[in-house]
């Protein structure tokens, strides 16, 4: 009995030692991956791929997720009590099943005693969602307590989207080139197929989607042997603009993918669906052969690495040790 007790104590101490080595007792720093979100369980692979790369590159940080979309968060919250869904999706991480907004996620981390926090958006470009994140972080950083020791954060900083953001130190043109480099395999596949490469971005009705046009131009210069076209569900250029450009270029074969981190409803229905108003149907009615690949950008490890690199930048800029 004594031997069993000693064996139990040694095992317990070993587990505690491993936990301490892995997490430094209590994690003192955290990274919040702020995404628009998705309600499709199979599309979560894009976000977990980003998480894995970020965690590998930043092992001394706790990495967690937040969704900016109120609608998508509500869907996941309703699923918490859906026994049928839970039974069919046992592999779903609690990070997603109990996902919160960026504000609530940051507040939870602060309540746990974590006062150095990096919020890294997984957005493609600096649009409406990113602007809201900037406002949230600015508001939290404006908190000034009477005593410095009661300040809620030591450092709370926000990274930039994949295609960059206004900055005098990190030029967005360099971010766009990095994004073009990360899409190399897509372009190679289109070239091998003898097809034009078409991307569907989400876009935005409030903010300019000019970053898409600049990415399209960069892709064409980087891969001059393949025709590349980018359109958006919202904003410019719309599918009508893409269709006109394809027709003008005499394109007969198209390889199409979503320019979105996760491939959800837009990719499955608006892009690749069989409905009359889908991009696929529209191009086919123009006499083109269309092949669709419904894979989110987050599953591209090169694209996921962009976010990790942006975290390195903001850590350096903020002087986090």
Point out the residues that are catalytic.
Answer: 202
Q: Give, for 224, the enclosing helix (H) or strand (E).
A: none
Report helix, strand or coil for 37. Answer: coil
Q: How many residues does the chain have?
A: 321
Rounded distance, CA 237 to CA 231, Å?
Answer: 5
Cβ atoms 103, 142 nearer than 8 A: no
- Bridge-based pairing state of the strands 289-292 and 253-259: parallel
Q: How far apart are the first and last CA of the chain?
A: 48
170 is in an annotated binding site: no
Strand partners, 231: 200
Residue 35: which residues within 8 A CB-CB, separation 6 or more? Answer: 47, 65, 66, 67, 68, 121, 122, 123, 261, 262
Q: What is the CB neighbour count within 10 angstroms for residue 138?
A: 11
Phi, psi of 128 (to 5 degrees): -60, -45
Structure tokens, 228: 């590349």
Rounded to whole angstroms, how far apart are CA atoms 187 and 193? 10
DSSP label of 59: T
69 vs 72: CA distance, rounded Å = 5
Q: Is 40 annotated as a binding residue?
A: no
Strands 29-35 and 116-121: parallel
- Residue 266 annotated as lining a ligand binding site: yes
Annotated binding-site members for Co(2+) = 202, 234, 266
Residues belonging to the binding site are 202, 234, 266
């Amino acid at each position: 009995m004594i031997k069993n007790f000693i064996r139990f104590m040694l095992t317990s101490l070993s587990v505690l030692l491993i936990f301490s080595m892995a997490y430094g007792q209590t994690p003192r720093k955290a990274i919040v991956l702020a995404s628009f979100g998705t309600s499709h369980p199979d599309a979560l692979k894009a976000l977990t791929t980003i998480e894995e790369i970020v965690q590998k590159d930043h092992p001394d940080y706790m990495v967690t997720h937040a969704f900016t979309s109120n609608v998508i968060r509500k869907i996941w919250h309703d699923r918490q009590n859906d026994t049928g869904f839970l039974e069919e999706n046992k592999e779903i991480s609690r990070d997603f099943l109990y996902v919160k907004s960026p504000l609530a996620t940051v507040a939870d981390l602060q309540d746990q005693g974590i006062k150095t926090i990096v919020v890294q958006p997984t957005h493609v470009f600096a649009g409406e969602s990113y602007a809201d994140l900037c406002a949230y972080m600015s508001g939290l950083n404006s908190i000034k307590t009477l005593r410095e020791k009661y300040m809620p954060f030591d450092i709370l900083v926000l990274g930039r989207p994949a295609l960059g953001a206004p900055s005098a130190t990190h030029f967005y043109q360099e971010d766009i080139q990095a994004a073009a480099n990360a899409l190399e395999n897509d372009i190679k596949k289109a070239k091998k197929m003898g097809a034009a490469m078409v991307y569907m971005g989400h876009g935005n009705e409030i903010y300019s989607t000019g970053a898409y046009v600049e990415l399209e131009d960069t892709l064409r210069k980087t891969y001059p042997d393949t025709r590349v076209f980018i359109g958006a569900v919202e904003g410019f250029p719309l599918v009508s603009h893409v269709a006109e450009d394809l027709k003008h270029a005499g394109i007969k074969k198209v390889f199409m993918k979503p320019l979105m981190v996760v491939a959800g409803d837009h990719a499955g229905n608006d892009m690749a669906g069989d409905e009359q108003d889908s991009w696929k149907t529209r191009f086919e009615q123009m006499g083109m052969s269309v092949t669709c690949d419904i894979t989110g950008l987050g599953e591209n490890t090169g694209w996921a690495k962009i976010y990790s690199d942006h975290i390195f930048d903001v850590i350096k800029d903020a002087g986090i040790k």
